[in-house]
Amino acid sequence: MTTPLLDLSYLEEISGKDQNYIQQVLILYLDAVPEGLSKLEELLKTDDYPAIQKQAHFLKSSAAIIKVRDMFDNLKEIDMLARQETGKDIMVERMASIKTHFEEALPLIKAERDRSAAAVK
C-alpha cells in the first residue's frame, strides 16, 4: 500500500482537532519549511556536513507533525549520513525525493490551512 502524500493525523491528534491550533501550526509550517528545504538543498552543494546535519535535524521535527510522503525518513537519513560525513550522493537523491513530494503536497497543505481558517471564522 502506498503511503498517502499528506497525513495530518498526528496534527489532528495533538490539537484535539482544534481548528485554530491546526491553522496556526500550518501557517508556521508554511513559513519555515519551504525556506528550510531551500537552505538544505543549497547546503548539499557544499561539504559543510555539520550544517547539513543541523538543517536536516531541524526539518525533521516539522516533518514528524505534518507528514509528507517519505519526508521524515529521508531527512532522518540525511541527518545520519551528515553526522557520519559520508554519502553525499545518497543525500542528494533523498533531497530530490523530498522536494518532489513536498511540491506535490504544498497545494494540499495550503488548502488545509485555508480550510482550518474558514472553520475558525
What ranges do the domains of the chain cover? 6-114
Please name every residue paired with 6 in a beta bridge, in sequence order, or none if there are none: 68
Domain 6-114 has CATH 1.20.120: yes
Nearest-angstrom CA–CA distance, 110 and 25: 12
Residue 1 CB coordination number (10 Å)? 3
Structure confidence by residue, pLDDT tens digits, 31-81: 999 999 999 999 999 999 999 999 999 999 999 999 999 999 999 999 999
Nearest-angstrom CA–CA distance, 113 and 96: 25
Sign of CA dihedral 50, 55, 58, 62: negative
pTM: 0.93
